[in-house]
Amino acid sequence: MAQVPKTCKVILADSIGKNMLVEVQESRDAFRKEHGIERKLCLAAFLANDDPHAVKYAEWSQKTSQENGIDFQLHRVDKDDLEEKIMAANVDNGVDGIIVYYPVFPGNLERDRYIQETVALDKDVEGMCHRHLQNMYHNIRFLDPPTNQLKSILPCTPLAVVKILEHLHIYNTIIPYGNRLYGKTITVINRSEVNGRPLAALLANDGATVYSVDLTGTQVFTRGDGIRQLRHQVLDKDADFGLKQCLPLSDVVIGGVPSEAFKVPTELLRDGAVCVNFSSFRNFDGPAVKEKASIYVPSVGKVTVAMLLRNLVRLSANRMATGGKLE
Amino acid sequence: MAQVPKTCKVILADSIGKNMLVEVQESRDAFRKEHGIERKLCLAAFLANDDPHAVKYAEWSQKTSQENGIDFQLHRVDKDDLEEKIMAANVDNGVDGIIVYYPVFPGNLERDRYIQETVALDKDVEGMCHRHLQNMYHNIRFLDPPTNQLKSILPCTPLAVVKILEHLHIYNTIIPYGNRLYGKTITVINRSEVNGRPLAALLANDGATVYSVDLTGTQVFTRGDGIRQLRHQVLDKDADFGLKQCLPLSDVVIGGVPSEAFKVPTELLRDGAVCVNFSSFRNFDGPAVKEKASIYVPSVGKVTVAMLLRNLVRLSANRMATGGKLE
C-alpha cells in the first residue's frame, strides 16, 4: 500500500535565499568585470535604535553581506545625528547603497518617513524613496522612460514575497509577463506603508485579486474586470467583510502582523491554501496550518536580505549607466 | 506608455500535442532498440459506425499514427462482426494495441461496455477495460504491485486533459507528486463513464476539489479534509447546487458536453479562470471567454491522439516485460 504523502510542503526561506544569493553574486561579478571595478560594493547601514527585530535584521544583513563579498559598514548612530550621516553617505562615492533600520522614531511614522526621503534616490537599496514607491504603485519598472535602462527599486520585503511566490509557481509562467497572477486570490494581512500596502499593490499589478486586511478594515486591490487596467485600483469593502470572508476565497494567505498574539484562524483557510508569513512573529499556528495548507513558508527574512543585496547591485549598475563613479 | 497585455492566453492543443508526440517517438525508439524490434508498432482500429466525430477521430488517429511511424490498420466492420474481429486481434502477435470507435450501439451503453471488455487487457490502448478503470478510480498506477513494473493505462481523453493541465502549470511541481492539484478547485461539466467521470476522479486523486456537473446533478470528488485519503471519495451536492454555485469557485473549468446548444455561462466564470474544452462541440463562447479567462484551450483532440500512441508504446513495453512477443 502506498504511503499517503504529507498534506503540506514546508519551504524554508533559507533554501530559496541561497539560490538568489548565487544569482546576485553572478550579476555583481558580471557588472564588476564589465566596468573593471576592483573594490567591493559597499553598503552603509545605519542603526539608530535598540529594537530587537531591527538589530537582528542588521546582524543578518551584515553576516550575509560579508559572506557574499559585500563591504557592509554598520554605523550605530544617535537618532539626532542620523540625517547628517545619511547626507554624507549620499555624496560619498565609496558608498553604493544606504539602509536605515526602522523604526528610528517609534510611534512617529512621519519622522521615519522624513528619514527615508533623506536617502539619495540612487543609493536607496530599500526602495523607500518617493520616486521608487510611486513607480511601484503605478506599475512602472524603469526610472528613465522611454529609454528604460535604469531599473526602479522595489522594497525588499514585498519583493522577497513576490520572489517566493514565483519560486512556489504561484506566478504562472505560461501567462504573459505582467499578468502571471491573473486568476489568483490573495489575502495580505497588514497594510503598513513599508510592507503590507506595497505588497498588495505589487501582487494586484501582476493580475491578482488582493484582499488587504488590517484593523481598520478590508480593501480589495485589482486591475479591474479582465485586468484591463495598467495598474491596480483600490476599493473599500464593507465593514463586515473581514478575514472570515476573505480567507475561504484565498489561494494564498500572507501574514505580516507585527504581534505575538495574532494568529491566522486556521479553520477559515481553504483546503490546500498557500501560506506565507513575513512578520517577525509567527502569524500561523504551525502544527495546525500543516494539516491544511499545501505549502507553508514560515518566514521570509533570508530572502529579504538577498533582495537587499540584489537592489545594491542594481543601484550600482544604474549609477555606472548614468556616468557615476565608484571610487 | 506600456500596452495592456491581453487578458487571455489561448493555447492550441496542436502545439502541446506536437511536443508530446516527440516524447512518444523517443520512448518508442528506446524501447525498440532495447528489445531489438525491427517492425513498426501496430495499432488495430475498428470503426463500426458512421458517427461524424468517430470518423474524424479515426482519420486523425490514422494520420498521426502514420506520421509517427506507427502501423495503423483501420478496419471498417459491421457491428455484428466486431466482437469476433476484436477476439482475433487479441491473439494476433502482430497487433500491439486495439482501439474501437464508439458509440458502436448508439443508445445502448451496456452493449458498448461489453465490447470494451472484449478487448484484451494487454492491448487496451483506451484504458477502458475494467482492470484499467478500477486502478484509475483507486489511484493505483501499476498492474503488478508490489513489483510495479507494468504501468496501468489511463483513458486517452481524461489523460490528455491531465497532461494539458500539467503543461499549463496548474499542476504545481513544488508540491510532491500525487498531490500537485491540492488547493485547486475544478469544475468538470459532463460525467460520462468514458470521459467526465474518469477525469473528475483523476483530478481529485491528484488533490483537487472537483465539482462534477451533469444534467442529473452535481457531485464533489475530493480526497477528504487535508487530502489524507489515498483515493477520492464522492459526495452528492444538493439539487440546487449547480453551475451557478461551482463556477464562481473554480480555478479551472472543463467543458465536455456533447451538444451544440450548451455553452458555459461566461458571466459565472471567476476572473482569470483557466478554461479547457474537451467536447467535440465548442462548450465556451470564444470571444466572451477570452475577455475573462487567463488561459483558454478550445480543444484537446490532438493531445488525445498523442496519448493514444503513448498508451500503445506502454502496452508494448508491458508485454515485452512479461515475456510477450512482438512478431
Structure-block grid coordinates of residue B261: 446548444
What's the pLDDT tens digit per position in A272-300? 999 999 999 999 999 999 999 999 999 99
Give the rounded distance of the alpha carbon of B20 from its chain centre. Answer: 14
User: How far is residue A152's CA from residue A136's CA, in Å, rounded to a whole number?
Assistant: 8
Active-site entry in A8, A42, A129, A156: A156
Return the pLDDT at B5. Answer: 65
Return the pLDDT at A281. Answer: 95
* pLDDT over 80 at B295, yes or no: yes
The answer to whether B4 contacts A229, with C-beta atoms less than 8 Å apart, is yes
| CB of A245 less than 8 A from some CB of B | no
Return the pLDDT at B294. Answer: 97
User: Which of B170, B250, B271 is best to mutate for the A interface (most A CBs within 10 A)?
Assistant: B271
Q: Which residues in chain B are contacts of A227 at CB distance < 8 A?
A: 7, 271-272
Q: What Cα–Cα distance (Å) separates residue A294 from each residue in A58, A109, A274, B248, B308?
A: 32, 37, 6, 21, 32
Domain architecture of chain B: domains with CATH = 37-123 (3.40.50.10860), 157-302 (3.40.50.720)
Kindly report the CA angle at A273 between A136 and A237, in degrees rounded to 5? 55
Interface of B with A in 6-45 (CB under 8 A): 6-7, 9, 11
Is beta strand B9-10 parallel, antiparallel or unpaired with respect to A295-297?
A: unpaired
User: How far is residue B151's CA from residue B128's CA, in Å, rounded to a whole number?
Assistant: 14
* pLDDT over 80 at B2, yes or no: no
Give the residue with greater pLDDT, A323 vs A307: A307
Give the residue with greater pLDDT, A300 vs A320: A300
Active site residue B156: yes
What's the pLDDT tens digit per position in A131-142? 999 999 999 999
**Alpha-carbon distance A112 to nearest alpha carbon in chain B (angstroms):** 33
Confidence tier at A3 by pLDDT (50, 70, 90):
low
Return the pLDDT at B4. Answer: 61
What's the pLDDT tens digit per position in A8-26? 999 999 999 999 999 999 9
What residue of B is the nearest CA neighbor of A181?
A: B272
* pLDDT over 70 at B1, yes or no: no
DSSP A124: B
Q: Phi, psi (5° rounding) for residue B240?
A: -90, 10
- The arithmetic mean of pLDDT across residues A252-278, rounded, is 97
The answer to whether A227 contacts B274, with C-beta atoms less than 8 Å apart, is no
User: How far is residue B269's CA from residue A250's CA, in Å, rounded to a whole number?
Assistant: 16
- The arithmetic mean of pLDDT across residues B161-188, rounded, is 97
**B210 and B221 in contact (C-beta within 8 Å)?**
yes
Kindly report the CA angle at A245 between A244 and A246, in degrees rounded to 5? 100
- The H or E element that residue B212 is part of is strand B209-214
Give the residue with greater pLDDT, B124 vs B5: B124
- The arithmetic mean of pLDDT across residues B151-155, rounded, is 96
Q: Phi, psi (5° rounding) for residue B290?
A: -70, -20
Structure-block grid coordinates of residue A64: 550575509
* pLDDT over 70 at A176, yes or no: yes
Spell out the SS3 assignment of A138-194: CCCCECCCCCCCCECCCCHHHHHHHHHHHHCCCCCCCCCCCCCCCCCEEEEECCCCC
Which of A2, A207, A270 is the closest to B272 by Cβ?
A: A207
Confidence tier at B179 by pLDDT (50, 70, 90):
very high
**Alpha-carbon distance A77 to nearest alpha carbon in chain B (angstroms):** 43
- The arithmetic mean of pLDDT across residues A231-254, rounded, is 96
User: How far is residue B268's CA from residue B249's CA, in Å, rounded to a whole number?
Assistant: 9
Interface of B with A in 276-295 (CB under 8 A): 291-292, 294-295
Return the pLDDT at A1. Answer: 41
| CB of A5 less than 8 A from some CB of B | yes
Confidence tier at A325 by pLDDT (50, 70, 90):
low
Which of A174, A222, A292 is the closest to B226 by Cβ?
A: A292
| CB of B217 less than 8 A from some CB of A | no
What residue of B is the nearest CA neighbor of A9?
A: B175
Structure-block grid coordinates of residue B5: 497585455
The whole-chain average pLDDT of chain A stands at 94
Return the pLDDT at B205. Answer: 97
Question: Following CA atoms B317, B321, B325, B326 in sequence, which dihedral angle do they give, to the nearest 10 degrees?
Answer: 20
**B269 and B288 in contact (C-beta within 8 Å)?**
no
Return the pLDDT at B115. Answer: 93
Q: Per mean pLDDT, which range of A107-116, A278-287, B96-105, B286-295 is the poorest?
A: A107-116
Q: Which of A57, A123, A157, A71 is nearest to A314 (CA)?
A: A123
Return the pLDDT at B326. Answer: 67
Confidence tier at B210 by pLDDT (50, 70, 90):
very high
The answer to whether A182 contacts B227, with C-beta atoms less than 8 Å apart, is no
Return the pLDDT at B155. Answer: 96
Return the pLDDT at B7. Answer: 87
Q: What percent of chain A has pLDDT over 70?
A: 98
Q: What is the largest CA-CA distance in chain A?
A: 69
Q: Which residues in chain B are contacts of A222 at CB distance < 8 A?
A: 271
| CB of A230 less than 8 A from some CB of B | yes
Q: How many CB pairs under 8 A join A and B?
A: 110
Confidence tier at A324 by pLDDT (50, 70, 90):
confident
The answer to whether B272 contacts A227, with C-beta atoms less than 8 Å apart, is yes
* pLDDT over 90 at B324, yes or no: no
Question: Following CA atoms A156, A157, A163, A169 in sequence, which dihedral angle do they give, to the nearest 10 degrees?
Answer: -170
Which of B172, B178, B273 is the closest to A169 by Cβ?
A: B172
What is the separation, in whole angstroms, between the first and last Cα of chain B? 66
The answer to whether B172 contacts A173, with C-beta atoms less than 8 Å apart, is no
Q: Name the amino acid, one letter, at A192.
A: S
| CB of A138 less than 8 A from some CB of B | no
- The arithmetic mean of pLDDT across residues B219-224, rounded, is 97
What residue of B is the nearest CA neighbor of A164?
A: B174
The answer to whether A226 contacts B292, with C-beta atoms less than 8 Å apart, is yes
* pLDDT over 60 at B221, yes or no: yes
Q: Which residues in chain B are contacts of A209 at CB distance < 8 A?
A: 271-272
Confidence tier at B255 by pLDDT (50, 70, 90):
very high
User: How far is residue B210's CA from residue B36's CA, in Å, rounded to a whole number?
Assistant: 44
